[in-house]
Structure 1
Amino acid sequence: MKKPQMLLSSSSILTLAFLMSISALDTAAANCSLPGGSPPCFASMAPSLLPVTVDEGAVEINGFQVSHPSDNAIVGTTSGKQASLVISNGGTLENLRGIVGDVAGSEGEVLVTGPNSAWNNIERLIVGNDGVGTLSIEKGAKVTSGPFSAVGWGAGSVGNATITGTGSHWSFDYAMDIGSGGKGTMTIADGGALSGDDLFVGYDTDGQGSLLLKDKGSSIDVNEFYVGFYGKADVKVENGAELKSALIRLATQAGSEGLLEVSGKGTVVTTGPILAGTSGKSDIIVRDGGALNTNSLRMGILAGSNSSVTISGSNAKLNADEIWFGNGKSTLDFHHNNELYEFSGKLISKHIDGNTWKDGITVGTHELHQSSGKTLLSGDNSLFQGKTYVEGGTLLIGNKLGGDVLVSGGGALGGSGAIGTTDALSTVTIASGGILAPGNLNGGLTINGDLIFAAGSSYQVNVDPKSNASDHVYVSGKASLNGGSVLHVGASGNYNPFSTYRILTVGNELTGAFNGVTSNFAFLTPELIYDYAKKTVDLKLSRNDMKFANKAMTANQRSLAGALDTLKADGNALYTALVTLGDDQATIQSSFDALSGEVHASAKSALIENTLLTQNAITNRLRSAFSEPVATPPIEPLGYGPERKQPTAFNSVVDKDRVAATYGGWAQAYGHWLKQDGNSNVGEFSASSGGFVAGIDNTIADSWRVGVLAGYGQTSFHSNDRASSGNSDNYTLGAYAGSQWAMSHGVLAFSSGIAYTWHQLETERSVAFNGFSDRLNADYDAGSLVAFGELGYKIAAGRSTFEPYANLTNVYHKTNGFNETGNTLAALNVDSDKTNTVFTTLGLRAATTLDLGNISPKARADIGWRHAYGDVDSESSARFTGSDIFTVGGTPVAKDVATLEAGLDFNLLPSTVLGVAYTGQFAKDVKQNGFNVKLAVSF
Structure 2
Amino acid sequence: STDKTLIVGGAGNGVLDVKNGGQVNSQDSIIAADLGSNGTASLDGAGSLWKSLGDMIVGQSGNGSLSLTNGAKVQTAGNTVLGAQKGSNGSVSVDNGTLSTDKTLIVGGAGNGALDIKNGGQVTSLDGIIGANQGANGSASVDGAGSLWETLGDMIVGQSGNASLVLANQSVAKVGGGTLRIANDSSSNAALYVGATSDKAADAKGAGSLEAKRVVFGQGQGLVQFNHNDQNYQFDAGFEGQGHVNHIAGQTVFNGDSSGFTGQLNVKGGELLLNNRMAGQVQVDQNASLHIGAFNGSQGEVLSDIGNDGQVVFDRNNQYQYDHVIYGSGSVEQRGTGSTVLTGENTYQGGTLISNGTLQLGAGANGGNSGSILGDVQIDAPGSLVFNRANDYRFDGALSGTGTLYKRGAGRTELSGDSSAFHGRSYVDSGILAVNGKLGGSTDVYDGATLAGNGQVGNVTLHKGATIAPGNSIGTLTLAGDLDQHNGSTFHAELLSTGANDRLLVNGAARLEDGSIIKADKLDSKRYELDRRYLVLATEKGLSGRYKLTGDTWVSTFYDVVDNYDSHNAYLDVQQTRLFQEAAFTPNQRATATAAQSLKGAAVPALTPPVHNKLFEAIAYLPDDHQARDAFDQLSGEFHNSTRSALVQDSRLVRDAANTRLRSATAAQARDTASDTHSGLTPWITTLGNWGEVKGDSNTANLRSDTKGFLTGVDTAVGDRGHVGVLTGYSRTELKSSSRDSSSDNDNIHLGVYGGTQVSGFDLRGGMAYTWSRIDAKRSVNFAGYSDHLKSKHDANTLQAFGELGRRFDLSPSVQLEPFANLAYVQVKSEGFKESGGPAALRAKHASDEQTFSTLGLRASADKQLDNGKLLTVFGSAGWKHALNGITPSNTYRFDGSDAFRIEGAAYSRNSAVVEAGVETRVTPELSLGAAYNGQLGSGASEHGLSLNASYRF
| TM-score (normalised: structure 1) | 0.43
Higher alpha-carbon Rg: 2
TM-score, normalising length: structure 2: 0.43
> Which of 1 and 2 has higher RCO (CA within 8 Å, sep 6+)?
1
